[in-house]
């Protein structure tokens, strides 16, 4: 990684920490981040010529694999007509129609340029629609670097949040309430005390920012029922789960209809795209129809729309999600079996093309407290050993992993073979 090391050293003089997003600095796992030069299918190639089997997938959008021919062709074709107009185009309506066909809850929507922008806008809209100020989020769920959502859990279900980042006013953070993920009783207790003031619940229907944590049976429907009872809105943050776990995203998988949905990742196919949408009566509160303001020069950018539309077209094979799920199951079951054979305790989760693994004695990890009890040192050593073997997992125990349609059985077998060696090395350190 000689060239990557030099590039990282140079970048530290240009960017804070040498990176443009914190986790890229490898602060959790140590070492030097590889600098990638190109991607093809399930593989990434760094500046030193090393090939990696990639399970990050640009943090989710590369569901078809890197440089998919249909997506590249669509981008090239759109680029030949111009890069940006800041005005309406037909293709933004084409992508919106494809999204609504898959997610009927999104009766009206607005395109934006990132998932963070989508969640920020959805929260503003929820507050404007309900004339309430407070928001409920869940411990361990991340919804972008929005001031209202960079908040710690506090000491209990009825505790107001405290800022989780310098620069977030305490007065604003106090409007965000937090409870543990998967704790429906805590939600109900909080609404009993604060329900008349809560504009919305925002939740990752499958949490992907504390590793991967699935909802327990009845949790999402319980949120739906609680919001209905108290006149609050339910926001599904499907930036990560959107089109990743089911043709209808997590709301289709679990058959729970939110009032608002935020999307990103897959609907851009690798380019910067987000969207928020939902019930028509709520969305009509957005300017120019209503008093809630939101705007963006690059919203509906034609190049990004072309990339997203081509990606969604690539998901229409009836067996697509069955095969994606089978790949994730093959990977996680292989990792767990290899860990157990080496005497290493491991828990795994997977749904659709998302997966997570935890160095934990627990059979199933269901909340942030259990995530924090996992063995971070073991993860760090495992990550480094796998990276050296040409396997690229997310450089943090608090991130989800992704498989793509491009991952073959051979790729999975090579990954499990490398993991067996890494687990044996781990076993010798304890």
Catalytic residue set: 142, 237, 265
Q: Which residues pair with 66 in a beta bridge?
A: 41
- Please name which of 344, 311, 309, 351 lies closest in space to residue 328, comparing C-alpha atoms: 351
Sheet order of strands, 51-54 included? 36-40, 43-46, 51-54, 391-392
Residue 192, both tokens: 């009993």
| Contact between 179 and 216 (Cβ < 8 Å) | no
Given a contact cutoff of 8 angstroms between Cβ atoms, the answer to whether 388 and 236 are in contact is no
Alpha-carbon distance of 69 to 80, in angstroms, equals 17
User: Which residues sit opposite 263 in a β-bridge?
Assistant: 275
- Identify which of 73, 48, 151, 51 has the alpha carbon closest to the alpha carbon of residue 418: 51
**H or E stretch covering 372:** helix 368-372
CA distance 400 to 31: 20
3-state secondary structure of 193: helix
21, burial (CB in 10 Å: exposed 0-12, middle 13-18, buried 19+): exposed
Neighbours of 253 (CB within 10 A): 19
Degrees to nearest 5, angle at CA 188 with 157 and 183: 60
Please state, in angstroms and as integers, the Cα–Cα distance from residue 1 to each residue in 33, 35, 48, 195, 390, following that order: 9, 9, 6, 54, 12
- Give the H or E element holding residue 100: helix 90-102
With beta carbons less than 8 A apart as the criterion, state whether 114 and 274 touch.
yes
């Amino acid at each position: 990684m000689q060239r990557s090391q030099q590039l990282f050293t140079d970048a530290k003089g240009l960017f804070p920490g040498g990176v443009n997003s914190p986790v890229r600095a490898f602060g959790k796992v140590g070492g030097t981040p590889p600098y990638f030069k190109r991607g093809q299918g399930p593989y990434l190639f760094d500046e030193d010529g090393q090939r990696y089997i990639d399970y990050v997938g640009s943090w989710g959008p590369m569901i078809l694999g890197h440089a998919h021919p249909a997506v590249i062709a669509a981008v090239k074709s759109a680029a030949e007509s111009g890069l940006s107009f800041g005005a309406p185009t037909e293709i933004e309506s084409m992508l919106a129609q494809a999204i609504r066909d898959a997610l009927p809850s999104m009766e009206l929507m607005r395109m934006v340029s990132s998932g963070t922008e989508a969640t920020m806008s959805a929260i503003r809209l929820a507050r404007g629609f309900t004339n309430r100020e407070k928001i409920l989020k869940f411990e361990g769920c991340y919804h972008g670097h929005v001031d209202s959502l960079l908040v710690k859990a506090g000491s209990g279900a009825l505790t107001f949040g405290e800022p989780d980042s310098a620069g977030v006013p305490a007065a604003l953070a106090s409007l965000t309430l937090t409870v543990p993920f998967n704790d429906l009783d805590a939600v109900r207790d909080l609404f009993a005390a604060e329900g008349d003031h809560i504009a919305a619940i925002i939740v990752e229907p499958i949490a992907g920012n504390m590793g991967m944590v699935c909802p327990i049976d009845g949790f999402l429907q319980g949120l739906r029922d609680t919001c209905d009872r108290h006149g609050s809105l339910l926001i599904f943050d499907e930036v990560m789960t959107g089109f990743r776990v089911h043709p209808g995203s997590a709301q289709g998988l679990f058959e729970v209809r939110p009032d608002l949905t935020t999307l990103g990742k897959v609907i851009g196919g690798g380019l910067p795209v987000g969207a928020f949408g939902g019930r028509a009566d709520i969305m009509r509160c957005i300017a120019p129809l209503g008093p809630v303001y939101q705007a963006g020069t690059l919203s509906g950018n034609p190049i990004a729309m072309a990339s997203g539309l081509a990606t969604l077209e690539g998901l229409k094979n009836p067996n697509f999600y069955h095969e994606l799920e089978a790949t994730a199951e093959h990977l996680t079951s292989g990792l767990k079996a290899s860990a157990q054979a080496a005497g290493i305790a491991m828990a795994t989760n997977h749904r659709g093309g998302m997966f997570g693994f935890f160095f934990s004695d627990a059979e199933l990890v269901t909340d942030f407290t259990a995530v924090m009890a996992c063995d971070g040192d073991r993860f760090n050593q495992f990550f480094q050993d796998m990276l050296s073997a040409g396997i690229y997992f997310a450089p943090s125990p608090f991130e989800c992993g992704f498989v793509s349609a491009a991952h073959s059985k051979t790729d999975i077998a090579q990954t499990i073979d490398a993991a067996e060696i890494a687990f044996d090395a781990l076993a010798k350190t304890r």
